[in-house]
Amino acid sequence: MPVLIAAPAAIGFVFLALPLFALLVRAPWRGLRGVLTGHAPLTALRLSLECATTAAAISVVLGVPLAWVLARVRAPGIGLLRALVLLPLVVPPVVGGVALLEALGRRGVVGRYLDSWFGVTLPFTTSGVIVAETFVAMPFLVISVEGALRAADRDLEEAAATLGASRTTVFRRVTLPLVAPSVAAGAVLCWARALGEFGATITFAGNYPGTTQTMPLAVYNALETDPQSAVALSLVLLAVAVVVLAALRDRWLRTGWNA
């Protein structure tokens, strides 16, 4: 391997791997169980898992049809629609949080009617956390599924149609199974992204143990009060990330293609 490739590659690897190794080295391994089974970390973990799973479920229910529209519908403006849908991927999460406040906050464009007509306010509730997490994570699923739909073999769908299947049946019995691996991969990615969400959650949903303080927020708070606890909680999130990546393996790199 030429040095011109090996050297930057090595530096790049060390740059990415070093903080993770440092976390493992500095972790309070002896007192780990005590730290992690305390009331506050367990509460944050349970809340994080519940919210991330709900956010991923909502993303699948709304995102798969959205991906189908983006992949299959030929109309002017679809490109613009795709750009808007993918915006939360590029925009800083805290900006997403500010935008959500302006839309769904108590004085928001839509939020004010939610509050006055239905008495529903999203900020400072667990539902608000789920909204924030879905907002930042759904685009992951949409990209993954849209790519798979584009690459899917249309002949199979056409064959089903000529055999008398209705459009819904084709979608349910042919299209969905074809892209199921990408839906699964997208859902896992979406779940992991939702689990790690910080900026939008803390801005839109607030920060209160048990209701809105997810694991990343708990880590941020713990840094000031109990740094050892912060490292321990970080380890948990790190472990989750490793499991997710191992489960996805190289499917993560080939989001558009089915096996």
Partner 1 sequence: MRRAAAAACAVALTVTACSSSKVIAAGGSSSSTSSALGGTITVFAAASLTEAFTSLGHAFETAHPGTHVTFDFGASSALALQINQGATADVFASAAPKNMQQVITAGGATTSSDFATNVMEIAVPPANPAHIASVADLARSGVKVALCQPQVPCGSTAAQVFANARVSVHPVTLEQDVKATLTKVELGEVDAGVVYVTDVRAAGTKVRGVPIAAAVNASTAYPIAALTHTRNSALAQAFVGFVLSAAGRAVLLADGFQAP
Selected from 23, 53, 106, 150, the binder of partner 1 by CB under 8 A is 106
Q: How far is the CB of 38 from partner 1 (least distance, A)?
A: 16
Residue closer to partner 1 by CB (options 48, 221) is 221
Q: How far is CA 123 from CA 137, 174, 255, in A?
A: 18, 41, 33
Cα(222)–Cα(190) distance, rounded to whole angstroms?
26
Selected from 101, 141, 195, 237, the binder of partner 1 by CB under 8 A is 101
Residue closer to partner 1 by CB (options 30, 107) is 107
What secondary structure does DSSP assign to 111-179, as a single string? HHHHHHHH----TTSHHHHHHHHHHHHHHHHHHHHHHHHHHS-HHHHHHHHHTT--HHHHIIIIIHHHH
Residue 82, CB-side half-sphere exposure with 13 Å CA sphere: 19
Selected from 206, 241, 244, 248, the binder of partner 1 by CB under 8 A is 206
Q: Does 175 bind partner 1 (CB under 8 A)?
A: no
The CA dihedral of 104, 107, 109, 115, to the nearest 10 degrees, is 70
- Interaction mask 31-60, partner 1, x per CB under 8 A: ------------------------------
Q: Does 123 bind partner 1 (CB under 8 A)?
A: yes
Stretch that binds partner 1, among 30-38, 80-88, 160-168, 199-207 (CB under 8 A): 199-207
Q: Does 250 bind partner 1 (CB under 8 A)?
A: no
Q: Does 124 bind partner 1 (CB under 8 A)?
A: yes
**Angle (CA) 230 231 234, round 5°:** 85
Q: Does 93 bind partner 1 (CB under 8 A)?
A: no
By CB under 8 A, how many residues form the interface with partner 1? 18
User: Which residue has 């519908």 as its token pair?
Assistant: 73
Residue closer to partner 1 by CB (options 124, 252) is 124
Residue closer to partner 1 by CB (options 63, 105) is 105
Contact indicator for 179, 145 with CB cutoff of 8 Å:
yes
Q: Which one-letter amino acid corresponds to residue 179?
A: V
Residue closer to partner 1 by CB (options 205, 236) is 205
Q: Does 107 bind partner 1 (CB under 8 A)?
A: yes
Residue closer to partner 1 by CB (options 74, 107) is 107
User: What tokens were used for 151?
Assistant: 């690459």
Cα(73)–Cα(177) distance, rounded to whole angstroms?
20
Residues lying near partner 1 in the complex (CB under 8 A) are found at 101, 105-107, 123-124, 202, 206-209, 211-212, 221, 223-225, 227
